[in-house]
Amino acid sequence: MTFTSQSPTRRVAIGGISHETHSFAEPHTTLADFHLHRGEEVLTALTGSPSTIGGMIQGAREHRWELLPTFHASAMPGGTVVEEAYQAMLEELVERLRGAMPLDGVLLGLHGAMFTEKQLDPEGDILAKVRAVVGAEVPIVIVLDMHGNVSPQMVELADVILAYDTNPHLDSYPRGQEAADILDLLMRRAIKPAASMAQASLVLPPQATGTADPPLRLVHERRKEMEDEEGVVCVAVLGGFAYGDTPFTGPSVVVTTDNDLDLARAYASELVSILERHSEGVLPKFLLPEVAVREALSCPGRPIILVDSADNVGGGTPGDGTDGLKAMLALDVQEGAIVLADAEAVAACWAAGEGAEISLSVGGKTDRWHGDPVPVSGVVRRLHQGDLPCERVPNHFGASKINMGRAAWLRVKGVNIVLNEHKTPPFDLVQLRGLGVIPEQQKMIVVKSAVAYRSAYMPIAAGVIEMDTAGLCSANLSRFPYKRLRRPFLRP
C-alpha cells in the first residue's frame, strides 16, 4: 500500500519491551540483563539507530507528530525472564503511558517470543495493559521480530501487526517507518483494519527460517504480490521461535486489509499453505564436528564457515560451546577462528597481559548443554575493552556497535580464540577484526548462529559447512522436554 500524509499534529506514544526467550536455557534473564531507556532516553539513545524504534522515531518526525517516549527495554536472547523483572518493566511502561495521556496513537516495538516465569504470552499481556490505559479507540501498531510466536490475543488487541521480512534481520528500521505510516492512516481514519491470523501445523527450527531459502522465500514472494494490491495494508510472516515452550509456538501469518476480513482470511490461509507444502527437506545436512573440520581442510579457498547453530547466541545460548574448538585442535588446524563467551578466561588473560603464555580452560562453563571446558595453552596476542563499531549497518540485530565487554585474542597452536565477557552473535566481522584476527585470512571460522551470520560472513566465505554440535539451539527439537507445544516439529 502507498502511504501519503498531511496529518495535523498528533500525540503519539512510543516504547516497548523486547526479548527472545529460550524456555530451556539457563540462567534466567534478570532485570540487570536488559538495556533500559526511560522517557527522553528513548529518543536520545535510539534516534538514528538502525532499529525498529529508530525507524518509528524517523517516521514520527516525518509526520510531524508530538512524539511521547515512554519506556523501552531489550536484552540479548536468553533464558526465561524473571517474573519480577517483567512486572517491573511492564509497570514502568504502563505508568509512563498513563502519564502521556491523552494520546492519538501508540507505536510499540516488541519481539513476539518472550516468555516469563508466569506468562506464556507476555506480548499479549503488554497489549492488554496498554489497551486498558488508552482505550478501544486509540490505534496501536506493533512491530515484531519475524521469530515471534503470535497469540490470538495479540491479534485481537493490536490494530495492526507488522514483522521483519528478512532473516538475517536487515529491515527492522524500514518496518519501524512503515509502522508509523500505517498509524498515520489509522489516526486519520483513512483505513479500517481487518486482520486475520493463520498458524502452520508444524514448528520450524531456526535453521529452516532463512528468508532466502524455502519455505519462507516462497512465502515472501507471494507476500510481496499481495502487499502490492489495493486494500492490503500489510502482511506479517513469522517463522516462529521453536525454543519457546508455549501453545502459540510456530510459524504464523497475520494479514491486515482495509475492511475486508474475508480477503485477510483467504490470504493468511494461502500463505500458510505455501509454507506447509514446501517445508519438507529444507534443513541442511549436519556433519559431526571432526568430519566437518576435515571437509573444510579439503575445500579450496578460505575462509570455510563452520556453522555451530546448536550454540546460536541469537537464539539464547551462552556462546561457549566447545565442540568446534575441540575438532580444530584435534586436527591441528592452522588459521582457524572461534569466538567464545567466557568471562573467567578473559579475566585470566587480562591478569597475564598481552604477550604472556598462559594455560587455562576455555568454554563449556555455563550449563551441561554445550560441551566441557577445553584445557589449552597459548599466547595472549591482544586485549580489548569497549565498544567495537560495526562494519555493516544495517545488520541482523539493528546495531551500530558491538559490546563484548573485556575481550582477549588467545592464540593456541594455529587456532585463534576470541574470548569475551559478554556473549555476542556473529552479525559483524568486527567481532574478529576488532581483536586483530583477520577473517579473510582464516582457513575456517566457527560461527555460533543459525542464519544471522550470513549478512556478514557470506560475502567472504569460500564455503559453508553445518556442524552437528551439542547445544540448546539444535535443529533436532526432539531433544527438548516440551510440555505445552501443540504442533509437531520439523525433523532433520
Over pLDDT 70: what percentage of the chain?
98
When computed from its CA atoms, the radius of gyration of the chain, rounded to whole angstroms, is 23
Q: Where is average pLDDT lowest: 63-72, 321-330, 389-398?
A: 389-398
What's the CA gap between 189 and 139, in Å, rounded? 10
What's the CA gap between 9 and 5, in Å, rounded? 11
- Intra-chain end-to-end CA distance of the chain, in Å: 38
Q: Name 4's Cβ contacts closer than 8 Å, sequence gap at least 6.
A: none
Over pLDDT 90: what percentage of the chain?
95
∠ CA 361-78-325, rounded to 5°: 30
Q: Give pLDDT, residue 327.
A: 98
Across the chain, mean pLDDT equals 96
**Looking at the predicted structure, is the pLDDT value of residue 347 above 80?**
yes
**Looking at the predicted structure, is the pLDDT value of residue 41 above 80?**
yes
Q: Where is average pLDDT lowest: 64-78, 130-144, 408-422, 478-492?
A: 478-492
Order of strands across the sheet with 286-287? 286-287, 463-467, 304-307, 444-447, 336-341, 415-420, 401-412, 374-389, 357-362
Annotated domain spans of the chain:
11-277, 286-474
Q: Give pLDDT, residue 492.
A: 78
Q: What is the mean pLDDT of residues 31-45?
A: 98
Q: What is the mean pLDDT of residues 445-458?
A: 96
Domain 11-277 grouped into CATH 3.90.78.10: no
Q: Give pLDDT, residue 114.
A: 98
Q: Going by DSSP bridges, is the β-strand pair 463-467/286-287 parallel, antiparallel, or unpaired?
A: parallel
Q: What is the mean pLDDT of residues 195-213?
A: 97
**pLDDT bracket for residue 3 (50, 70, 90):** low
Q: Give pLDDT, residue 6.
A: 52
What are 256's strand-pairing partners? Answer: 195, 234
Give the DSSP letter of residue 303: P
**Looking at the predicted structure, is the pLDDT value of residue 398 above 60?**
yes
Q: What is the mean pLDDT of residues 92-111?
A: 98
Q: Give pLDDT, residue 8.
A: 64
Q: What is the mean pLDDT of residues 433-447?
A: 98
| Residue range 129-186, pLDDT digits in tens | 999 999 999 999 999 999 999 999 999 999 999 999 999 999 999 999 999 999 999 9
**H-helix or E-strand spanning residue 195:** strand 193-199
**Looking at the predicted structure, is the pLDDT value of residue 400 above 90?**
no
Q: Where is average pLDDT lowest: 26-30, 98-102, 334-338, 393-397?
A: 393-397
Q: Give pLDDT, residue 482.
A: 97
Task: Using alpha carbons, list the distances in angstroms from residue 22 to 71, 124, 190, 211, 340.
Answer: 24, 18, 40, 21, 19
What's the CA gap between 286 and 455, in Å, rounded? 21
User: 444 with 293: CB under 8 angstroms?
Assistant: yes
**Looking at the predicted structure, is the pLDDT value of residue 4 above 60?**
no
**Looking at the predicted structure, is the pLDDT value of residue 320 above 60?**
yes
| Residue range 256-295, pLDDT digits in tens | 999 999 999 999 999 999 999 999 999 999 999 999 999 9
Q: Give pLDDT, residue 486.
A: 92
Q: Give pLDDT, residue 392.
A: 85
Q: Give pLDDT, residue 1.
A: 62
**Looking at the predicted structure, is the pLDDT value of residue 351 above 80?**
yes
Q: Give pLDDT, residue 248.
A: 96
Q: Name 146's Cβ contacts closer than 8 Å, sequence gap at least 6.
A: 163, 164, 165, 166, 167, 169, 209, 211, 237, 238, 239
Q: Give pLDDT, residue 165.
A: 98
